[in-house]
Amino acid sequence: MNLHALYHQTTVPYAYPLDEEHLYVRLRAAKGDLSEVKVYYRDRYQWPALYKIKTLKKSYADKLFSYYDTALALHRNRYAYYFVLRTKEGR
Protein backbone atom coordinates (compact mmCIF):
# COMPACT_ATOMS: atom_id res chain seq x y z
CA MET A 1 0.00 0.00 0.00
CA ASN A 2 1.33 3.41 -0.94
CA LEU A 3 0.92 5.29 2.35
CA HIS A 4 2.02 8.56 0.75
CA ALA A 5 -1.06 8.51 -1.49
CA LEU A 6 -3.56 8.12 1.37
CA TYR A 7 -5.30 11.39 2.11
CA HIS A 8 -8.26 12.64 4.12
CA GLN A 9 -8.98 15.90 5.88
CA THR A 10 -11.98 17.04 7.89
CA THR A 11 -12.82 19.93 5.56
CA VAL A 12 -14.31 20.35 2.09
CA PRO A 13 -14.04 18.43 -0.26
CA TYR A 14 -13.14 15.43 1.94
CA ALA A 15 -15.75 15.89 4.68
CA TYR A 16 -18.78 18.17 4.85
CA PRO A 17 -22.38 18.09 6.09
CA LEU A 18 -25.09 17.22 3.58
CA ASP A 19 -27.83 18.27 6.00
CA GLU A 20 -28.44 18.29 9.76
CA GLU A 21 -28.06 14.52 10.12
CA HIS A 22 -25.69 13.43 7.31
CA LEU A 23 -21.95 13.83 6.82
CA TYR A 24 -20.22 13.15 3.48
CA VAL A 25 -16.73 11.64 3.78
CA ARG A 26 -14.12 10.93 1.09
CA LEU A 27 -10.78 9.11 1.16
CA ARG A 28 -8.07 9.24 -1.52
CA ALA A 29 -5.72 6.28 -2.14
CA ALA A 30 -3.27 5.20 -4.82
CA LYS A 31 -5.07 3.78 -7.84
CA GLY A 32 -5.47 0.02 -7.55
CA ASP A 33 -4.13 -0.24 -3.98
CA LEU A 34 -7.31 -1.00 -2.06
CA SER A 35 -9.94 -3.70 -2.33
CA GLU A 36 -12.17 -2.40 0.48
CA VAL A 37 -12.57 0.74 2.58
CA LYS A 38 -14.77 0.86 5.68
CA VAL A 39 -15.50 3.71 8.02
CA TYR A 40 -16.29 3.17 11.69
CA TYR A 41 -18.26 6.07 13.12
CA ARG A 42 -20.18 7.08 16.22
CA ASP A 43 -21.55 9.99 18.21
CA ARG A 44 -18.42 11.32 19.90
CA TYR A 45 -20.30 12.00 23.15
CA GLN A 46 -22.08 8.63 23.42
CA TRP A 47 -20.76 6.25 26.08
CA PRO A 48 -20.14 3.43 25.80
CA ALA A 49 -18.66 4.06 22.36
CA LEU A 50 -20.84 2.04 19.98
CA TYR A 51 -19.50 2.24 16.45
CA LYS A 52 -21.53 1.85 13.27
CA ILE A 53 -19.76 0.49 10.17
CA LYS A 54 -20.24 1.50 6.56
CA THR A 55 -18.40 0.47 3.41
CA LEU A 56 -17.21 3.26 1.13
CA LYS A 57 -17.70 2.90 -2.62
CA LYS A 58 -15.14 3.90 -5.24
CA SER A 59 -16.68 6.97 -6.83
CA TYR A 60 -13.90 8.11 -9.13
CA ALA A 61 -10.40 7.23 -10.36
CA ASP A 62 -7.85 9.19 -12.36
CA LYS A 63 -4.33 8.27 -13.52
CA LEU A 64 -2.88 8.29 -10.00
CA PHE A 65 -5.63 7.99 -7.40
CA SER A 66 -8.91 6.27 -6.52
CA TYR A 67 -11.50 8.15 -4.46
CA TYR A 68 -13.87 6.42 -2.06
CA ASP A 69 -16.87 8.08 -0.46
CA THR A 70 -20.13 7.66 1.43
CA ALA A 71 -22.66 9.56 3.52
CA LEU A 72 -22.85 8.87 7.26
CA ALA A 73 -26.00 9.42 9.31
CA LEU A 74 -26.19 10.38 12.99
CA HIS A 75 -29.03 12.09 14.79
CA ARG A 76 -27.06 14.96 16.31
CA ASN A 77 -24.25 15.28 13.75
CA ARG A 78 -21.44 14.87 16.33
CA TYR A 79 -19.08 12.51 14.55
CA ALA A 80 -16.00 10.57 15.55
CA TYR A 81 -14.76 8.26 12.78
CA TYR A 82 -11.83 6.31 11.42
CA PHE A 83 -11.13 4.29 8.29
CA VAL A 84 -10.15 0.63 7.97
CA LEU A 85 -8.43 -0.23 4.69
CA ARG A 86 -7.94 -3.61 3.02
CA THR A 87 -5.33 -3.98 0.30
CA LYS A 88 -5.58 -6.13 -2.82
CA GLU A 89 -3.23 -8.59 -1.04
CA GLY A 90 -5.79 -8.92 1.78
CA ARG A 91 -3.86 -7.00 4.46
At 53-89, the pLDDT tens digits run 999 999 999 999 999 999 999 887 789 999 999 998 8
Q: Reply yes or no on whether the pLDDT at 25 is more than 80.
A: yes
Cα distances (Å, whole numbers) of residue 31 to 24, 34, 63, 71, 81:
21, 8, 7, 22, 23
DSSP assignments along 18-68, one per residue? EETTEEEEEEEEETT-EEEEEEEEEETT-SS---EEEE-EEEEE-SSEEEE
pTM as predicted: 0.90
pLDDT at res. 75:
82
